[in-house]
């Protein structure tokens, strides 16, 4: 089959996260039709997670190309760039306060960013309740998307923007994410200024982190008077079951965490003892480094589907930059296959370089801080 021109192609994005929605938005700005498929039954089906810092040299560049940078800056929290480094004793080691007008990496909640992107798309662009089971058809197309429930869709280009455990990835790569040996336990705090004033004062308007080389705590201010805390430890993947615990047993999980953080300051232990609601277990996975594949004429990947790395502030920014570059390649190429080649020629080396730098990023999450580090 001859590769079609992008404007005449049936383009399917799998995943309505920041990367997939950014790609769809930029394609539509260039008059290229696109459909996004997402497994969630509706946009509010699940919590979208915590706060993101979008960088001026990648995430914000993508939003500029999407025509949404001013809207983003109106929603973003520049004050969220504040950062405090603490010792396990609670002593303040370093403190960054953003300068007036500093906009290099302002914060926005994941949910707010998603709403901004969704609201910018043509009605009906996103098809909710479409969980991809697999992809069939020849590499030169057309491809068949098979969704749970038996629905099938024929398409000329599949863009995998469906995250760490992508169902698109197997069409181009046998790679699967591996466990990094560490994970987060997430704790949420609501109405913090009134209900948790000590924690609110400790965290400030941005984030606060402490680590001792083996354990870490990272607290992050979200909008709506919320704080999320990420309790970081090296541990087996099955640590909860191995200890005879249940993640829904908040008291038992809390006791286990307090035992692990014995000796830390009472002010920091509030991040473990005072949370509202249950904990969430979030093991950290990564793809092999480098992750590459033989080029396909009909399938490509972006974001975590292409280059899952430890969570060190680059993931969503790289996903949105990928999305921008792929959409612009499609807008500027004669065929879909040419566009994939143009995009992957830049994306794959960049993601490999970044992944090499962050390959041992879990150690950076746990590394003990020093004075003057920021």
Task: Calculate the CA 261 to chain-centre distance.
Answer: 27
Calculate what percentage of the chain has a pLDDT beyond 90: 91
Question: Domains plus CATH for the chain?
Answer: 6-77+103-176+287-362 (3.50.50.60), 179-285 (3.30.9.30)
Given a cut of 90, whether residue 362 has pLDDT beyond it is no
User: 29 among the known binding-site residues?
Assistant: no
Given a cut of 90, whether residue 114 has pLDDT beyond it is yes
Q: How confident is the model at residue 1 (pLDDT cuts 50, 70, 90)?
A: confident
Measured CA to CA in angstroms, residue 152 lies from 59, 155, 344 at distances of: 33, 10, 27
User: 127 among the known binding-site residues?
Assistant: no
User: 53 among the known binding-site residues?
Assistant: yes
- Rounded average pLDDT over 245-269: 96
User: 188 among the known binding-site residues?
Assistant: no
Over the stretch 128-180, which tens digit does the pLDDT of each residue have? 999 999 999 999 999 999 999 999 999 999 999 999 999 999 999 999 999 99
pTM of the predicted structure, to 2 decimals? 0.96
Q: How confident is the model at residue 45 (pLDDT cuts 50, 70, 90)?
A: confident
Average pLDDT, the chain: 95
Buried b (16+ CB within 10 A) or exposed e, 57-78: ebbbbbbebbebbeebeeebbb
CB atoms within 10 A of CB 285: 18
């Amino acid at each position: 089959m001859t590769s079609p021109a992008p404007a005449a192609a049936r383009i399917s994005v799998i995943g309505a996260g920041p990367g997939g929605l950014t790609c769809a938005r930029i394609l539509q700005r260039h008059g290229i039709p696109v459909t996004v498929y997402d497994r969630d039954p509706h946009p509010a089906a699940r919590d979208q997670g915590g706060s993101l810092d979008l960088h001026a040299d990648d995430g914000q560049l993508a939003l500029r190309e999407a025509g949404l940078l001013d809207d983003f800056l109106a929603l973003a929290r520049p004050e969220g760039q504040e950062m405090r480094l603490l010792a396990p004793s609670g002593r303040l080691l370093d403190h960054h306060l953003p300068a007036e007008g500093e906009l290099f990496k302002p914060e926005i909640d994941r949910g707010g960013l998603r709403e901004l992107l969704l609201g910018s798309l043509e009605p009906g662009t996103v098809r909710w309740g479409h969980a991809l089971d697999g992809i069939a058809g020849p590499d030169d197309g057309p491809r068949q998307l098979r969704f749970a429930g038996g629905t099938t869709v024929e398409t000329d280009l599949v863009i995998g923007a469906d995250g760490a455990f992508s169902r698109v990835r197997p069409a181009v790569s046998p790679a699967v994410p591996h466990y990094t040996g560490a994970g987060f336990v997430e704790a949420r705090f609501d109405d913090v200024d009134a209900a948790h004033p000590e924690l609110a004062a400790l965290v400030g308007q941005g984030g606060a982190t402490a680590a001792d080389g083996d354990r870490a705590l990272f607290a992050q201010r979200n909008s709506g008077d919320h704080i999320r805390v990420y309790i970081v430890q090296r541990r087996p993947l099955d640590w909860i079951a191995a200890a005879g615990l249940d993640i829904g047993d908040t008291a038992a999980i809390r006791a286990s965490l307090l035992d692990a953080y014995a000796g830390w300051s009472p002010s920091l232990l509030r991040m473990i003892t005072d949370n509202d609601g249950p904990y969430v277990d979030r093991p950290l996975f990564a793809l092999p480094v480098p992750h590459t594949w033989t080029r396909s004429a009909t399938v490509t990947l972006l974001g975590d589907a292409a280059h899952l790395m430890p969570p060190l502030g680059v993931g969503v920014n790289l996903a949105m930059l990928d999305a921008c570059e792929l959409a612009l390649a499609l807008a500027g190429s004669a065929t879909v296959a040419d566009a994939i080649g143009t995009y992957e020629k830049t994306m794959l080396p960049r993601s490999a370089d970044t992944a090499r730098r962050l390959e041992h990023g879990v150690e950076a999450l746990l590394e003990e801080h020093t004075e003057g580090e920021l």
